[in-house]
């Protein structure tokens, strides 16, 4: 219940998944033009009627631009850079660095590698 907002961000990056068989195309170095959708929720709106101001999400865009865009994700992430792990990685960054300063609560991060494929992570908010 409550209100939801979403915003889409994009970046380009390379990665490879070397634990896959050599003949698997994702084992080879390749890149994607990623699209990341973040969704926030709130039970109540803050003036003038926001879950959170979209402008308050700018630090996440700055993080993507500075630390992720045009990088090799194998060098950026501690886990294999699958879309699932990337969604988790980005959600943790948002929870740790963005959420303390905004009104809304993150409910999901969806990572698109292509127009037809995506992975989504929704943090457990019951803890």
Just list the catalytic residues: 26, 70, 113
CA atoms of 37 and 118, how far apart (whole Å): 10
Cβ proximity of 81 and 15 under 8 Å: yes
CA atoms of 73 and 66, how far apart (whole Å): 13
Helix (H) or strand (E) holding 62: helix 58-63
Residues in the chain, total: 127
């Amino acid at each position: 219940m409550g209100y939801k907002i979403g915003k889409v961000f994009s970046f380009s990056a390379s990665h490879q998944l070397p634990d896959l068989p050599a003949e698997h195309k994702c084992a080879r170095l390749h890149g994607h033009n990623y699209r990341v959708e973040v969704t926030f929720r709130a039970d109540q709106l803050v003036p003038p009627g926001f879950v959170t101001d979209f402008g308050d999400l700018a630090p996440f865009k700055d993080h993507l631009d500075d630390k992720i865009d045009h990088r090799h994700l194998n060098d950026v992430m501690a886990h294999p850079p699958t879309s699932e792990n990337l969604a988790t990685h980005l959600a943790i960054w948002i929870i740790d660095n963005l959420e303390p300063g905004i009104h809304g609560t993150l409910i999901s991060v969806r990572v698109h590698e292509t127009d037809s494929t995506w992975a989504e992570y929704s943090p457990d908010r019951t803890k």
